[in-house]
Amino acid sequence: MSALRRHIHLEHDGKILLVDLEGNGPAIPRMGRYEGDGFSIRLPTPEEASKMGLKWETKRINKFRLGSEMNEVIVATPQIPWPEKWAWKDAVISDNQVDPVARESVYRTLHRVVSKVCVVNPEGMVLLAKVTRGFFTGCWTLPGGFVDYAEHPRKGAEREALEELGIKIKIPDHMGENGTRTEKKQDTIIRQEIFTPDGICWLSFTYKCEADIAAEEIVPKDDEIEEARWFTKEQALGIAVSTFDIEAIEKLL
């Protein structure tokens, strides 16, 4: 097994420090470049960044494997003014001359946005679904999933409820974020979490929606949902496994 490779991901308002193979920087990638094999631009090591006179505030340390190599990346904010001459973060991913570790590190610092809905009936019970695929296979969760590209999280939650359970809901929008204001105010929980050492960052929007839906109106999606049922708050908290779901049920019911 190869030795651990150590890197530092210094990022400041969309700019990231990259260096050449000798550790000189800043090096600038070119979006869409595809030239030959190997790479010529990489993240610096902590020692190289220190030699440049840089100091930083560490946010976290991510560890992930690429091929046979294990990598440790310090993700940190440099204690300097905005570094105009550093690389734009968006330019890193599509240049094949950038070390895959740097591209992977940028990828892992992008939020994965999920949207969920806490559907509550007139008796104060919450609707949960037992999923058959994904991160929580075999577990009870609130309806929801990944937010699509160019989709507002509220619309994503409404779409997921329809796709997973066949129910049409309308989440209150008193600020008119999606165009039409509603009189009723919405209750929302927004939560961010990194669960594992590899650094994948999750951002979850969970909305409350009151709806009077009969059991026979709920049609679970065959390849995704085993069943769906109404639960009291206490029952739901006893079977929920997602940190996002547990917090939403506690605070929205």
Per residue in 233-243, pLDDT (tens digit) is 999 999 999 99
pLDDT of residue 230: 96
Domain residue extents for the chain? 5-108, 111-252
Segment 191-219 shows an average pLDDT of: 93
Cα separation of 155 and 146, whole Å? 11
* pLDDT at 106 exceeding the cut of 70: yes
pLDDT of residue 46: 98
Q: Please state the CATH superfamily assignment of the domain spanning residues 111-252 in this structure.
A: Nucleoside Triphosphate Pyrophosphohydrolase (3.90.79.10)
What does the pLDDT look like over 23-40, one tens digit per residue?
Answer: 999 999 998 899 888 999
184 — pLDDT class (breaks 50, 70, 90): confident
Q: What is the CATH number of domain 5-108?
A: 3.90.79
102 — pLDDT class (breaks 50, 70, 90): very high
Segment 207-227 shows an average pLDDT of: 93
Question: In the structure encoding, which two tokens stand for residue 250, read together?
Answer: 């506690």
pLDDT of residue 249: 97
* pLDDT at 1 exceeding the cut of 80: no
Q: Which burial class, exposed, middle or buried, applies to 52 when counting CB atoms under 10 A from its CB (0-12, 13-18, 19+)? A: middle
Q: Is 50 helix (H, G, I), strand (E, B) or coil?
A: helix
pLDDT of residue 120: 97
Cα separation of 9 and 104, whole Å? 11
